[in-house]
């Protein structure tokens, strides 16, 4: 059986291990904290979310609100990267599989297109749009809007970056929470 290390060396395959926030901070220490703050600041600056007072939410919205999850990883360059994601395991009750799947193109489709382009001698380029999904317009009607819960340590970090969020903090089951 071929080992992961062999695949990396022989085939150029790379794997990045992601860690949940607390474990990532223990492992990456100050660099991990900087990566988390950079990710949160980017989300705040791009106005991807707006805090909401819990008393302005319906019971339906509170039940549907999903936890935000911060992951940390070390990139191939050695840079520590934070990634805030929507922990969507609770959406299974009210969203179809089609609604939860990513609209990302299949790798095979991209590779076939690249082979054809190379064969035809076309010029190609690659680009990255930072936070492309975050910059997408989301529905704002009460039935369709996406609600997230920022909890625990992330609440403290958010308040450090944006002190006005302090007014939106509530305590639920002994934890500090901000609804977005």
pLDDT tens-digit profile of 122-165? 988 877 777 676 667 766 666 667 788 999 999 999 999 999 99
Tens-digit pLDDT profile for residues 15-27:
678 899 999 999 9
Q: Is the pLDDT of residue 62 over 80?
A: yes
Residues 36/83, Cβ–Cβ less than 8 Å: no
The angle subtended at Cα 46 by Cα 45 and Cα 47, nearest 5°, is: 90
Q: Is the pLDDT of residue 57 over 70?
A: yes
Q: Which residues contact 100 (CB under 8 A, 6 or more apart)?
A: 88, 91, 92
Its pTM stands at 0.71
Work out the mean pLDDT of the chain and round it to a whole number. Answer: 83
């Amino acid at each position: 059986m071929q080992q992961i290390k062999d695949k990396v060396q022989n085939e150029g395959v790379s794997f990045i291990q992601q860690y949940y926030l607390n474990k990532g901070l223990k492992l990456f220490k100050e660099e991990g904290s900087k990566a988390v703050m950079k990710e949160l600041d980017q989300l705040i600056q791009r106005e991807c979310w707006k805090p909401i007072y819990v008393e302005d939410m319906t019971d339906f919205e509170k039940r549907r609100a999903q936890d935000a999850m911060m992951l940390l990883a070390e990139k191939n360059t050695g840079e520590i990267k934070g990634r805030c994601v929507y922990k969507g395991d609770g959406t299974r009750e009210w969203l179809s599989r089609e609604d939860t799947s990513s609209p990302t193109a299949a790798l095979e489709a991209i590779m076939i297109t690249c082979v054809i382009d190379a064969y035809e001698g076309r010029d190609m380029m690659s680009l990255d749009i930072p936070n492309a999904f975050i910059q997408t317009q989301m529905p704002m009607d009460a039935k369709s809007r996406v609600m997230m819960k920022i909890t625990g340590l992330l609440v403290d970090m958010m308040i450090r970056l944006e002190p006005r969020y302090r007014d939106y903090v509530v305590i639920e089951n002994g934890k500090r929470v901000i609804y977005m």
